[in-house]
Structure 1
Amino acid sequence: MSTDPSKIFRRYLSAGVINALATAEAAGLNATDYYALNLLDLSGPLTSGDLAAGTGLTTGATTRLIDRLEKGGLVRRATDPADRRKVIVESVARPEGLEQVLAGTRRRLGEVFEGMTEGDRAVLFRYFTQAADAYQAATEELHHPRTP
């Protein structure tokens, strides 16, 4: 196993991505649908435009995404009470069997966290918070590059 910090970090990121893809498949979802449901779970209801921005999908692809999730009974569309022209997408159910699919990952990560001191966990979760913000900012830059 490599001791190169860059490779260790890339291996960590790759393992997380591969696990998410396998989780989506085991839950009977495609990766984009799984990601969109996670985004709704983290954020709460979103406009279809915000869901498009959060997933990086075009508005047409987002409409098809919402259609699939709505047909599966996982989300519903509602009219934004503040602006009836906007559609709000809200999660109404979790995919059947998702908790069972996630159980192994949660157990294994729980074992990792249990083996850490409280201080180590505090550093790790501070990193997670700051890294998530950095990734979101970097993604925004990729979606909307600034020209010099």
Structure 2
Amino acid sequence: MSTDISEHRKKLLESLFVAGRENSNAVVMFHTAVAAHIGLGMTEEKALDLLQRRGPMTAGEISQHTGLAPASVSGLIDRLEAKGLVHRTRDTRDKRRVIVEVDYGKLGGFANLFDELVAGLTELYMGYTDEQLEVILDFLTRATAIQQAATPQVP
């Protein structure tokens, strides 16, 4: 980054980093509260979210999407399975592969915990133009990729 930037831009960049940290803290605290409410750890709650959004996956795929070590993912799946929230099944095409699937019958009321958040974000999004939403989407997509790449680098 060039050291020849305006004071306004320096302050804007600093404010962006602070806002990003504040957003990250708010997200972590929200998901910690949701997870605790349903008797899960936050990693378990986010793994369920991943499986709900992307569908059934192998442990290796979960590891790739989370950046967690394979041994950590195995323990995570064991905990979710012990709580009856997921089950393992053999891949019908490749019997060597084990697929992790959400047991949706056990998640009753889980989605309701997000109603207020979703309503608030929907209202927020409606205040932006399509062009602004495209910039926000680009930023979030690229920032997420940076975060995901950084996760497995943590010693």
TM range (shorter): 0.7 to 0.9
1:24–1:34 CA contact under 8 A, matched in 2: yes
Once the two structures are superposed, the pairs formed by residues 1-148 of structure 1 within 5 Å of their partners are 4-55=15-66, 56-59=68-71, 61-93=72-104, 95-140=107-152, 142=153
Cα distance between partner residues in 2 of 1:126 and 1:76: 35
Residues 54-86 of structure 1 show CA distances to partners (whole Å, capped at 9, x for unaligned) of: 441452x43343233224332221113344233
Bigger share in strand? 1
Cα distance between partner residues in 2 of 1:126 and 1:112: 17
Larger CA Rg, structure 1 vs 2: 2
1:76–1:89 CA contact under 8 A, matched in 2: yes
1:52–1:58 CA contact under 8 A, matched in 2: yes
Q: How many residues are matched?
A: 141
1:74–1:95 CA contact under 8 A, matched in 2: yes
From the superposition, tell whether residues 35 and 57 of structure 1 become closer, same or farther in structure 2 (CA, over 3 Å): farther
Cα distance between partner residues in 2 of 1:69 and 1:7: 34
Cα distance between partner residues in 2 of 1:127 and 1:65: 30
Q: CA RMSD in A?
A: 2.5
2:60–2:70 CA contact under 8 A, matched in 1: no
* Structure 1: gaps spanning 5 or more residues: none
Task: Tell me the TM-score normalised to structure 1 length.
Answer: 0.78
